[in-house]
Structure 1
Amino acid sequence: MHNKHIKNVVIVGGGTAGWITASLLAKIIGKAINITLIESDKIGIIGVGEATIPPIINFNNALGIDENTFIKETKATIKLGIEFENWKQKGDSYMHAFGSIGKSFPFCDFSHYWVKSLQNGDDSSLWDYSLNYQAAKKGKFAKLPHIEGTTLPGLAYAYHFDASLYAQLLRRFSEAKGVTRIEGTINKVNVNQDDGSIDSVTLEDQQKITGDLFIDCTGLHALLIEKTLNTGFEDWSHWLPCDRAMAVPCESVDKITPYTRSTAHDAGWQWRIPLQHRIGNGIVYSSKHMTDEQAKETLLANLDGKPLAEPRAIPFRTGRRLKQWHKNVISIGLSSGFLEPLESTSIHLIQTAAIRLVKNFPHNGINDEEVTEFNRQSRIEIEKIRDFIILHYKLNERNDSEFWRTCQRMDIPDTLREKIALFKKTGKVFREYDDLFAEVAWQQVMVGQGITPEDHHPLADNLTDEQLRDLTTHLKMIINNTVDKLPSHEEFLASL
């Protein structure tokens, strides 16, 4: 393989992962390669990843997909953040809102000024200064790059959408750009006896598909990367104890809220994702602390409307493939690893893997240096997201179940422990290179789950108490006045 020119790319598996990968390859380097995608209508897709984060906008723009068309085709709604209920204690809630909070200052974040205001006796919430939070809770939205008459940024947003409809949209896009789709189920994977790479796959009808580079998008089955190449897996269940999920759509019965909701239960959490035509729901739980029947009862008891399907259990193991790229196979999507969808990162990880593949696409053969760099970037990315998800579990203050008490007691990665300790003592948090989540995201989860920093940056002392009161009062007034003028989320959708 090291000397073989890469011309024929075979994507095994469709769904969101397969068609995202096919669409980007076809758009960027489709004229230089042949792309074949194999999928079977007989094989269902998990399809629980219906909430996203803001970078999806850049991805769709890179493909040239019109936003209005995307929203219509995928039954999409707007997402301004994720509300977490019962994560600190029962009855508590906070939001990881997209976008900025307060006003940008050089060398220190607005949160330091907020901490100082608390020390001065102010009882304002951090989210009083979040335009996204205020708009989300009032059901408002408009495309707003910045707040009129100010230098303050406007609304940052992502989408809720039907993942299967997104895959269909990308399939049409990909086929129009020359991607060949083959319907069929793989019966055999043919391995090169000399170097252990994959030569071809044989379908049930005995058709043989050869390729130079194979993309494994077979989901948790991991047909190529694990079942065939035995790449190995790093298990993270000691940090993230949930190992099963159930998903069920239900009828919409209320206004379409422009945010995702994550509600903690006795042994896990439930998601609520509002689409135009239905609400997507699911529960993630630990089988050591909750049976499938208990999970099903909890899920169905907390729906907004009539369920539209029968929930079924989906077992999973949290962790990552030791190598996302091994020999001539690159795993993208669930075949490369699994993180529960607590922060809506599943589809994002597919898109970044596809982008990474384009950037590191082999030309005159696969070389070890390129594979090593691809795997290094993949590992760093998913480990940083892993730490952010562990953060939610570790910081809970619930004492009502063994599951949550176990999460409080668990050892956590040193990188995360040090980040929590620094924020608690100083109010400082630093975004590392390749960290998906910005400082403001870490601040919201840590504050939302009970950490109030003991100190603030000395730059906050440059304002007198009166100047600080004027700043915070003015910011709240600007945000509230801006939100009041926005159309409702439903009005925005109707305008399309």
Structure 2
Amino acid sequence: MSDRRIRKVVILGGGTAGWMTAAALAKVNAPPQFEVTLIESEEIGIIGVGEATIPTIHWFNTLIGLDEARFLRETKATFKLGIEFVGWNGTPGGNPSRYFHPFGRYGGPADAQMFVHRWVRARQDGLPHSHEDYSLATLAARTGKFGPPAPDPHSLFSTLGHAYHFDAGLYAAHLRQLAEARGVRRVEGKVERIERHPETGFVTRLTTHRGDVIAGDLFVDCSGLRALLIGGVMESGFEDWSHWLPCDRALAVPCERVADTPPYTRATAHAFGWQWRIPLQHRTGNGMVYSSQVASDDAAADALMANLDGKALAEPRLIRFQTGRRRQAWVKNVVAIGLSSGFLEPLESTSIHLIQSGIAKLLSLFPSRECPEETAGQFNQVFATDMESVRDFLVLHYSRTQGREEQLWRHCQAMAVPEGLTWKERHFTRTGRIVLSTDELFRDASWFAVMMGQGLRAADYNPLLDTLPAAENIAYLQRLREQMAKAMATLPSHDAYLRRVMAPA
């Protein structure tokens, strides 16, 4: 039986994807059942734009036993309560439109999905307050405050949720330390030769330019957009989604930090794309995502550099990409994780989530040496579903943009969207319901925030609420708003909380 087991796992590529995979495999491989070798070259750069995360990062941090204080210190990380979207609905009255996608939940501890219906009914009955007034995460973010979710499910603070911003290069280095301490072997070099078994077609050995030969039973392709194994060797086709997500380039540049650190990411719409702002302890990460069909690289760079919060610390770095996914992310004994499996632009900070999604599926479907087709098929099915649900959420931002007349946005407003997205929009606008499958990444609060932010409105609510008198429903929401104001007054500033958590024990 033992000779059927994987004895050697080879990871091609470092960066965030490679070292996250290595750290996870090293953690679960105790006592050691297989060797883990990672091949990377210091001469090959990494994309490194994924400096913002979403709350699923906690699953990975728990899996590998990450110490939060050390992580915050070594990666220059900050906390993230959500994402602010600026200008996605034009500039009504001369001011850029703004809305917030919070992490956590709307309403009180016991409201769950029913809050949406409570609020829709109350608005129809004359409630003047925005739905954003009932999100503790939104209120905290906009006042520069931070607090972690409370473990007590009855506490108002249990409705909070958070993720992190961090320096992607420092994060990879931090994970490398953890992985190597647990036995992962790193090999420096560029792969020049890839050998396959003449009968099975499985990859068997990689040879670097230095002459190092690394044999393996299972190969994880973390080579980024180059996709050396899954695309170059296994020839897995690519499903192009650029007709829904037309941006194909990004420029990234860091700048000086010039103010208190806001606990949220900002995404600002421009004529030909959008700009990110990611606040770290030591600097601010910035970037412009745009379509090369409507803007030159120079025009995008000029717009980016003109809209920095502080002095630029480098020249803008150009990244070319194509949105979409590999038709098969697992072929024979090669599994693609990270950008080699597909690319979705960082509008909702999902790049690192999709890495850990691939890792989670690999761990649950970890194969024998034969890598059965059924195992690969299951991985491909569930990973494709994950990618497609995130894709639809991103398309919602583009297709429902209002108040912008530029070429890119007119195209997005007129394009046909995926059928599943149309179904979600119809359900919400007609019934107030947000229809999701059990495995979708973004849950009710996220869809509600972006649907409302992009101008969709619910015409109805759950009829069971009619058993509650209208005045009683409004009174409940008014009391909840007052409770949130009191809770907000007790929260420290984001920077003060950061200092407290990172302080030596």
- Is the 1:108–1:459 Cα contact (8 Å) retained in structure 2? no
Q: Offset of 1:154 from its aligned partner?
A: 3.9
- Is the 1:104–1:110 Cα contact (8 Å) retained in structure 2? no
Q: Offset of 1:464 from its aligned partner?
A: 1.4
User: What residue number does 1:18 align with?
Assistant: 18
1:91-490, aligned counterparts within 5 Å? Answer: 91-103=96-108, 109-145=114-150, 150=155, 153-490=158-495
* Aligned counterparts of 1:459 and 1:153: Cα–Cα separation in 2: 26
Name the SS of the counterpart of 1:153 in structure 2. Answer: helix
More deviation in 195-204 or 440-449?
195-204
Name the SS of the counterpart of 1:467 in structure 2. Answer: helix
More deviation in 119-128 or 327-336?
119-128
* Aligned counterparts of 1:161 and 1:455: Cα–Cα separation in 2: 41
User: What residue number does 2:52 align with?
Assistant: 51
Q: Offset of 1:317 from its aligned partner?
A: 0.4
Q: Offset of 1:457 from its aligned partner?
A: 1.0
Matched to 1:16, the amino acid is T
Q: Offset of 1:143 from its aligned partner?
A: 2.4
* Aligned counterparts of 1:453 and 1:104: Cα–Cα separation in 2: 23
* CA shift digits 1:462-496 (9 cap, x unpaired): 22122122111111111111111111001111112
Using a 3 Å threshold, how does the CA distance of structure 1 residues 409 and 35 change in structure 2: closer, same or farther? same
* Aligned counterparts of 2:340 and 2:301: Cα–Cα separation in 1: 26
* Aligned counterparts of 2:155 and 2:384: Cα–Cα separation in 1: 40
- Is the 2:348–2:394 Cα contact (8 Å) retained in structure 1? yes
Q: Unaligned 5+ residue runs, structure 2? A: none
Q: Offset of 1:147 from its aligned partner?
A: 7.7
Name the SS of the counterpart of 1:206 in structure 2. Answer: coil
TM-score under structure 2 normalisation?
0.95
* Aligned counterparts of 1:124 and 1:217: Cα–Cα separation in 2: 47
Q: Offset of 1:265 from its aligned partner?
A: 0.5
Q: Offset of 1:312 from its aligned partner?
A: 2.3
* Aligned counterparts of 2:435 and 2:154: Cα–Cα separation in 1: 30
Matched to 1:56, the amino acid is I
More deviation in 376-385 or 200-209?
200-209
Q: Unaligned 5+ residue runs, structure 1? A: none
TM-score under structure 1 normalisation?
0.97
Q: Offset of 1:285 from its aligned partner?
A: 0.4
* Aligned counterparts of 1:41 and 1:218: Cα–Cα separation in 2: 13
Q: Offset of 1:192 from its aligned partner?
A: 2.2
Matched to 2:425, the amino acid is I
Matched to 1:260, the amino acid is T
User: What residue number does 1:70 align with?
Assistant: 71
* Aligned counterparts of 2:88 and 2:426: Cα–Cα separation in 1: 20
1:27-38, aligned counterparts within 5 Å? Answer: 27-30=27-30, 31-38=32-39
Q: Quick one: percent identity of the two aligned structures?
A: 49
* Aligned counterparts of 1:263 and 1:147: Cα–Cα separation in 2: 36
Q: Offset of 1:254 from its aligned partner?
A: 1.0
- Is the 2:287–2:304 Cα contact (8 Å) retained in structure 1? yes
* Aligned counterparts of 1:255 and 1:207: Cα–Cα separation in 2: 48
Name the SS of the counterpart of 2:214 in structure 1. Answer: strand
* Aligned counterparts of 2:445 and 2:395: Cα–Cα separation in 1: 17
Matched to 1:485, the amino acid is T
The alignment's C-alpha RMSD in Å is 1.5
Using a 3 Å threshold, how does the CA distance of structure 1 residues 106 and 277 change in structure 2: closer, same or farther? closer
* Aligned counterparts of 1:147 and 1:469: Cα–Cα separation in 2: 26
* Aligned counterparts of 1:251 and 1:152: Cα–Cα separation in 2: 33
More deviation in 65-74 or 194-203?
194-203
Matched pairs, number? 494
Q: Offset of 1:364 from its aligned partner?
A: 4.6
Q: Offset of 1:202 from its aligned partner?
A: 1.0
- Is the 1:147–1:154 Cα contact (8 Å) retained in structure 2? no
Q: Offset of 1:176 from its aligned partner?
A: 0.7
* Aligned counterparts of 1:235 and 1:325: Cα–Cα separation in 2: 18
* Aligned counterparts of 1:361 and 1:443: Cα–Cα separation in 2: 36
- Is the 2:106–2:159 Cα contact (8 Å) retained in structure 1? no
